[in-house]
Structure 1
Amino acid sequence: MQQNQNNGSADGLYIALISIHGLIRGRDLELGRDADTGGQTKYVVDLANALVRQPGVARVDLITRRVIDERLDSSYSEEQEPLEAPGAQIIRIDCGPRQYIAKEKLWEHLDTFSDNLLRFFQQQQRMPDLLHSHYADAGYVATQISHVLGMPLVHTGHSLGRDKRKRLMASGMPSSEVEQKYNMQRRIEAEEQVLANANLVITSTRQEIESQYELYDYYCPESMWVIPPGTDLSQFHPPQLGEAQTQIASAIRRFLDEPDKPMILALSRPDPRKNIATLVRAYGESPELRDMANLVIVAGNRDDIREMNDGAQEVLTELLVLLDYYDLYGKLALPKKHLPSEVPAIYRMAARSCGIFINPALTEPFGLTLLESAATGLPFIATENGGPQDIVENCETGILVDPLSANDLGKAMKTLLLDGELWRKFSANGIKNVALKYSWDAHARSYLKQIKPLVEAHKPQQFSPAILRASRFADRLIVSDLDKTLLSNPTGLREFCQMLRERRKQVAFGIATARRLDSVLKLLKKYRIPKPDILISSLGSQIHYGRELEVSTDWESHVDHDWNPRAIRRILRDVPGLTLQEDSEQSKFKISFHIDPSEQGILTKEKIVSLLRQEEQSVNVFVSAGQNLDITPARVSKGLALRYVAQIWGIPLERVLVAAGAGTDEDMITGNTLSVVVHNRQHETLENQQEGHNVFFATQPNALGILEAIEHYHFFDEIPGVEVASPDA
């Protein structure tokens, strides 16, 4: 296998930004097309361009999901796309169905994204020096990649699940509906995981750290740093004399009886969380506001509301109902379409009219639109929840309000529209202070200052020559658990072992088990099982290879990252219902407890994980049979160890067949591996895995089920695996 290790400082930094959902391309971003294509997509494109322009940065990859969908422009199907700045490019990775889907439906496909991205990195001449994930889904992927490759991880949340859930429930949405619509529990767990493993968390505001991240179990403000996003001042600038009227200006003016009145402008995607309806109520219920100003709402692009997603339909339908209820014809403009390139002109149109910009969102992680409006000289009114607090403090160009109070919003609008001196002060402050404090160049310089110590401290992975030779030149690998999977059926075991002996020059054989090495050796001898080429023991905490099953010290060094067994024993020693198992069940990277049967309903995995994270312990927690608790370093699992071995040996995961059963095996059978659940284990926790997507449920037990899977997958053909077509492909 080609060893493509980091050589960061010699050639300049190679930074990998990961932002998976939404629609990302280098030009003409479709901002507001749906709930997933908002400010984050613009942020990551601007960040990639800004970073690669800095001295010492050689390459920036912006990694997202590849989409092949006849409803969308073909640019989203291109595997690579150069960005504006030389050295920056978009990389699109296949993941799940080919068509575009909402981020809430992506979770079950993220392991495939991780494996495909891992393969992409392995094909490059060098590994990235740093991973930077954006949002929870990318955080999940980047954590998995970092666990395998060991590179530094930086994360930006953009918005956070716990805070969003709190705001949605405060607006009246039942918790069951929040979970159903937004898959919130899965998202929050991914956020907890990435916070526990990231070297650095970059936020846009101090308020994010103090009020939003504080809600999480793994809350470590010392590893968080505020770097506000930049603003493109070449686009967002004050109105200039002689500017030609744009097409969007004509589209807006046609709605209005008196188009020269001051404009109250809102610009966001049609999402319930953006709270646009409260703005319309505040305007509609105030005769003064209706008389002194027009209301202009630019809410994404639409052809037919009936064909939009449920959230957008709900928002736009409510706006049309309110328009009619308050009889706002001739006073409210709701244009159907606008181009991203027209957004700066919309702000300037509002500024020229001496109007105001409104962001009434339930919560706003940062508020890039506020900077854009302020840079054009347009004062704003914004939600008091989130990032706008910092922007108001730094720029002195707006008013904060409770977004749930239409009355407070109405009062603030009247204040700004009636007080000309305050309007002019806010307008001038915005133009001056955005240029001083929120440029992309300043952002990129501050960013590099924070990440360089992480890159310099990182030691690239080293693989001993012995483990490289241990693959025996095999081009595929069979890995099985021992108990209940490979054993218990003498006939099947004999046939399986005979197959291995006949195919030894073609296939490598591996065992992945929770057992320790000494216990495994006894079983191999007892059942006359050929010695494996690779043995993953103690839940993945140790890797043994070669004829003597030598332990991989490289892997031990890798998984020792942030491992503090003494602290873990201290934290859990006084927890009622937990007792340490005997010494024979303990190992260097595994701490095992018994759970008292009377406490099983109380001592859940979730509670134990939460307790350890609150003490800033980044670990993996395994509970089996409701009574055995195992704790390992965060980089330890059977699936991570398997991927580590596969990358060293250069065996594609599509040529790895995994026979698994218990819950501790689950990450071995996700992603791109070919996998089988033998018949006698299908009642266990893996039964929630659906057949297809490279998971085969055998009709035969134990080793016979593995042999059945070999035939099912045509495993020894030139290209093994069964092509499983997506119903939506």
Structure 2
Amino acid sequence: MKSSQKYILLISIHGLIRGQDLELGRDADTGGQTKYVLELAEALSQREEVEKVDLMTKLLIDTQVSDDYSQQLEPINEKANIVRISAGNDEYIPKEDLWDYLDNFADNAIEFLKNQPRLPDVIHTHYADAGYVGVRLSHQLGIPLIHTGHSLGRSKRKRLLASGVKKEKIEQRYNMIRRINGEEETLSSAQRVITSTSQEINEQYAQYDYYEPQQMRVIPPGTDVEKFYPPEGNEWESNIFKSIERFLTNPRKPIILALSRLDQRKNIQTLIEAFGQNPQLQEEANLVIFAGTRNDVKDLESSLQDIFTDLLLTIDRYDLYGKVAYPKTITLDDIQIMYRLAALSGGVFVNPALTEPFGLTLIESAASGLPIVATKDGGPIDIIKNCQNGYLIDPLNPQDIGDKILKVLREKEQWQIFANNGVTKVKEYYTWSSHVETYLKVIQPIIDKSERLVRMPTQRRAMMYHNGAIVSSIDQNLLGDRESLGQLIELIQAKRKNISFCIATGRRLDSALKVLRKYDIPQPDVLITSMGTEIYYSQDLIRDTAWTTHINYQWNRQSIVTLLSELEGLTLQPKTEQSIYKISYFYDSSIAPKIEDIKRILLQNEQTVNVIFSFGQFLDIIPVRASKGYAVRWFSSQWDIPLNRILTAGGSGGDEDMMLGNTLSVVVANRHQEELSNLSEIEPIYFSHRQFADGIIDGLNHYNFFNLCESTD
């Protein structure tokens, strides 16, 4: 049994890694990962049971970088070294271009290891390129492999597509197929995969064919408790207090602190609404928001301008002047003081994000003695479970947010317990010392060979990405019968690796998410909202900004609203149903012009738009390039899923254009299906006699959909 003197080999190939003065932020390859592996090596070397740690990376002989990176062996301390290995090409090249040289790196790494007094007890690889090398070292030398992905190719591809990068460019620039194949191979060989959160396991790694949840362990990264600590009492004298003081009538009231970038997913507007709807909260506390850095709002991207404008309009709607501060900038040093200032005031830190993979700000708050209120999604669930220093909230429920914040502020004894728990538990769970303590417990049985991984039978999918997709609206389709909905969800979850699950709805994002969570419908791979004007990908709700740019063509929202305000029988729906690219009305057929007449009026006034009538009473005006059908086709092209492998399910007029053409379509039986009756003669549209989710299941069986998608024709 090798229980005392461990030799651990860490491999992190790309980026600029040296023992001192890391060049963080010099480029995309020299960031958090390089800092993480160096700090991990140092922390491991401090342990008595660790004999030696080698951090293996690429040798660089290149005039564009420091000579430090050409040193083949660089001591970090007495027990830890940086080992630089030649990959055949010793120039400094981006990680995406390393794939042709990784076999050379692996051969040279094996030669190095064979010349050591003994082989490592375990190999721990970081990122896909190191995983590829680690697989070869593990198989040839018989050393168990541990892996940390840091980021994953399948998730990154979705983010790139959402940002407007074409799929051909992604393959050319990022070698994505080679990367994903490397990740699959690593997962098929690694004895353990170490992640920062359980969400990474359940949502990101679950996209992979060789997904084995039993091989995965959550070990949160460490934070620097030297920088984040409880208040000292002098924080009221700080410059950051002066920057918020000018906004507030009573600046020394408890501070409700929110800190994030300008991003719709961060959900700051709902936090302001929660504050605005709760007079007691306004009486007892101030709201302080840091939402990115701005000099001039007009210099921000249009989407960020819209988010910031909505924040200001919400503050104005609830007349929160003198109660809300929103300074333009904050430095890293100021952030540390701001946590302590909020704690000194007896305040609370709030993270109301719609989705939160980890939540580093929550750990920093906890270490600073500041209780937290956070979204019941992803990382915060683990953090509050471990730290016992606050409450989870429903991020789509302003009343729940307000009530939980008020509860923290009013219960003074509990506030102090939360504050003390945060400071204590961060040191237990979220420092490098605690990280390494858990890490060594995870790898010990692997080294001892006392806990071998029993793998499940696994098969690679027919295509690199998804083979097909199910697209459904929400109302009258998924909702209505809990039993058949549960059966449909079971079917979808069983096929999730091969079949994308998509929602196409007239609802806004927040409204759609609220319904999905209420009925326990899993978050889809693609969420098409606001009648096809917005597209969001994956669990992270990454907005497809390229789609937004595409549909902006000839769109003049204010002109349309002004024009239609003169017509009888049209009443604007509440603001909660409106969005930048969707104007929604209640339609009274007894007095309103016919739908065709409304279309003609818009065209005569040079407003080229799509007019959509649904559920017998709702009229939506959207850009001419937008609709559920157009959005489905955009998604089909972006994700390389042929239209004849996409099943669309609808039941009202708003679904019509996504059911035409080459998609496999099923009309679910409901009282609004007559709006689609003109489609009854069109093949291959199938009219089910069953209602709600049962009608979708009927459609899946009618087309033999899952077997169709398994074929590779």
Q: Does 1 or 2 have the higher relative contact order (CA < 8 Å, sep 6+)?
A: 1
Q: TM-score, normalised by structure 2?
A: 0.49
Q: TM-score, normalised by structure 1?
A: 0.48
